[in-house]
Amino acid sequence: MNITAEIFEAFLKCPTKCYLRSVGEASTGNPCADWLRTQKESCRSEGIKRLAEGAKTGECVIGSSGTNNIKTAKWRVATEYVVRAQNLESSLHAVERVPSEGRGQHAQFIPIRFTFANKLYRDDKLLVAFDAPVLSERLGHAVGRGKIIHGKDRVASVKTSALANEVQKVIIGKIATLLASSSPPDLILNRHCAECEFRDRCRQKAIEQDDLSLLSNMTEKERRKLNSKGIFTVKQLSYTFRPRRRPKQLAGKREKYHHSLKALAIRDRKIHIVGSPQLKIEGTPVYLDVEGIPDRDFYYLIGLRLRTNRRVIQHSLWAANENDEKHIWKEFLGVLSGIEKPVLIHYGSFEATFLKRMVQKYGERVEDSRVAEAISSAVNLLSVMFAKVYFPTFSNGIKEIARYLEFEWENPAGSGLQSIIWRRQWETSGETTLKRSLFIYNANDCEAIEVVANKLLSITATFTES
């Protein structure tokens, strides 16, 4: 079986996805995966269209039919060019031909790929590095460079020769072994699952098998170590926990995270506590959740939730574009300045990064000392509970924990990835329903943070009283 660029890309994300695609497994459905696929196809077709429009008559050919005599070619750009070499096959988005600079020298042929993301990742570069050896086999000489056109017409040059060894000997070798096997690889859930068309299928199987990869905080190295000891399920792991008295010399150091205790919490369906977790809120709690587009370093929605004596107030500060980001940051500071002794409470590192970047980006000194104190001493609930409070959930994500505490989002499909999709769709269509969905999702996140904070306060209060 030929190893195609699509099979290669799937392997970079997950060996199971690679295997399932190779055997023609039907998708179990995932709207996020469908949207991403549409975006990729649209980006590719639009990129090819722009290349063709920018070329002079006769300088652009489409498909492989006009490229048979590639060594004597006169075209400048070839698009949708399918090339094969041994057991490899790739449908190149485009190939740029750079004429030779003198006699006896080859013309340069540069594979080009399009991607809609503003930021490039290693997988993007590896895909171009996959195209290069397939094209070089067709040419009969090395292709040492490729291009990626991404985001808003950003162009990145990739030195494919530097990645050739990894692509050929490591990745392609592993894929060949995988495809030659009559059985699928070990099922392992990972971060890519959220955007994979086989998400529901794999998660259901992982639950049926009680697989260790359900524990999202566990690394591959830790999982392999446990497998070598004959531990393959969460239930098996739960029986290995042994409570131990913490040595005095380690009293000041951070508590070690125990996967076995997490497994025990899941088995018992109970919250387990280690040490004496501390959470004090001396002031007015303000629950913060921010939505952004990571590959653009752009924050477009700041959610703030607080309670007064009479009601709950939800602020939703909206940026229609990048120019509005500074405006909503100033609005944010204004809201905090009107609160008596505000205490910002959030969940995870995303909001901590947001606060740091906004202060650095806009370089404005916060005049109000109460606001400055709130920003510099924002409380991350995940840090409060990490390795101290073990909820009976597979992950420490806000959604799993809040749902365990019987809180539900108005739209069950809401997620971090889905919010990015809603935002991008709104930027294209301007539909008010999409904006409303984002406001509701963000407000639900703020409320979920309050629910978790109240639970942690009740837990820590028992230690304070005792």
Q: What is the pLDDT of residue 376?
A: 93
User: Over 80: is that where the pLDDT of 464 sits?
Assistant: no
pLDDT at 249 over 70: no
Q: Which residues pair with 83 in a beta bridge?
A: 90
Mean pLDDT of 358-386: 88
For residue 419, which phi and psi values (nearest 5 degrees)?
Answer: -65, -35
Whether residue 319 contacts residue 311, with contact meaning beta carbons closer than 8 Å, is answered with no
Number of helices (H), then strands (E), belonging to the chain: the values are 17, 14
Query: What is the arithmetic mean of pLDDT over 75-99?
Result: 90
- Range list of β-strands (E), 121-177: 146-150, 154-158
Please state which architecture CATH assigns to domain 3-180. Answer: Alpha-Beta Complex (3.90)
Query: By the 8 A CB rule, do 148 and 158 touch?
Result: yes
> Residue 410's pLDDT band (boundaries 50, 70, 90)?
very high
Q: Which residue has the higher pLDDT, 3 or 66?
A: 3
Position 354: which residue type? F
pLDDT at 71: 65
Hey, is 413 helix, strand or coil?
Answer: coil
pLDDT at 225 over 90: yes
Whole-angstrom CA distances from 151 to 154, 224, 449 are: 6, 38, 33
Q: Which neighbouring-strand residues pair with 254? A: none
**Span 348-369, average pLDDT:** 87
Assess whether pLDDT exceeds 70 at residue 97. yes
Rounded to whole angstroms, the Cα distance separating 128 from 133 reads 9
Q: Are 156 and 121 in contact (CB under 8 A)?
A: no
Q: Which of 100-104, 224-228, 430-434 has the lowest mean pLDDT?
A: 100-104
Residue 365 confidence (pLDDT): 64
pLDDT averaged over the chain? 92
For residue 64, the model assigns a pLDDT of 64
Q: Is residue 463 scored above 80 in pLDDT?
A: no
Q: Residue 200: pLDDT above 90?
A: yes
pLDDT in tens, 127-139: 999 999 999 888 8
Q: What is the pLDDT of residues 273-302, one digit of tens each?
A: 998 888 999 999 999 999 999 999 999 999
Q: Is 390 in contact with 265 (CB distance < 8 Å)?
A: yes
Lowest mean pLDDT, pick from 230-239, 254-263, 320-329 = 254-263
Q: Domain coordinates of the chain in residue numbers?
A: 3-180, 191-245+254-273, 284-465
Q: If 0-12 CB within 10 Å is exposed, 13-18 middle and 19+ buried, where does residue 348 land?
A: middle
pLDDT for the residue 156 = 96
DSSP state of 257: P
What type of residue is 179?
L
pLDDT at 416 over 90: yes
Topology of the domain covering 284-465: Nucleotidyltransferase; domain 5 (3.30.420)
State which amino acid sits at residue 60: C
Question: pLDDT value at position 465?
Answer: 57
| pLDDT bucket at 248, cuts 50 / 70 / 90 | low
Note the pLDDT of residue 69: 63
